[in-house]
Amino acid sequence: MKHVQRLRLEPRPSRIARAAIVIACSATGVLITAMRLPLAATVGCVAIVLLALVSGLRQCSGRGVPALLHVGIDRRITVTDRNGRSHAGAILDDSYVGSALTTVVWRADGEHWWRPARTMLFVADSLPRDEFRRLRVVLRYGCPLDDAATSGVDAG
């Protein structure tokens, strides 16, 4: 079996995602304040929206953006965060591949089943055009080695 080199990606913070998060949270905050709610409810809802804003900005344009990704055609992924820690895992079928937006849903090796899967969002400006295209191809056409070995296709 020929060894295929893994795709090496260095994502960058997305200005498109940042703008979308700020616009959506601002519109939500305006709608909440326009509703005739008691002051305590308004303050609580706006606080929740602000938490969502901070969390979203962190994931798409802050320290939540990984420093380095290695993605294989066998749907294996290695994520290196900004602190230098690496986590290996498997890409799940819940990932979405689109022309302008791609989400990678993955689970780290050895992680408990009750923990939620990890997600990463890639918008068109997160990666160079050619790397973004390669990521979409790997996610769309890749399959785990176990599935490839039992698919009934003769490898010889």
Burial 3-36 (b: 16+ CB within 10 A, else e): eeebbebebeebeebbeebeeebeebbeebeeee
Question: Tens place of pLDDT for every residue, the chain, 156 residues?
Answer: 556 688 999 999 999 999 999 999 999 999 999 998 999 999 999 999 999 999 999 988 878 889 999 999 999 999 999 888 999 999 999 999 999 999 999 999 999 989 999 999 999 999 999 999 999 999 999 888 765 444 444 444
| Phi, psi of 119, deg, nearest 5 | -130, 150
The confidence score (pLDDT) of residue 13 equals: 92
Show the tokens assigned to 156.
């010889």
The confidence score (pLDDT) of residue 143 equals: 86
Non-local (6+) Cβ contacts of 147 within 8 A are none
Q: Report the DSSP beta bridge partners of residue 89.
A: 77, 108
* DSSP tag of 63: T
The confidence score (pLDDT) of residue 155 equals: 46
Non-local (6+) Cβ contacts of 30 within 8 A are none
pTM value is 0.80
User: CA 28 to CA 124: how far, in whole Å?
Assistant: 25
The confidence score (pLDDT) of residue 136 equals: 94
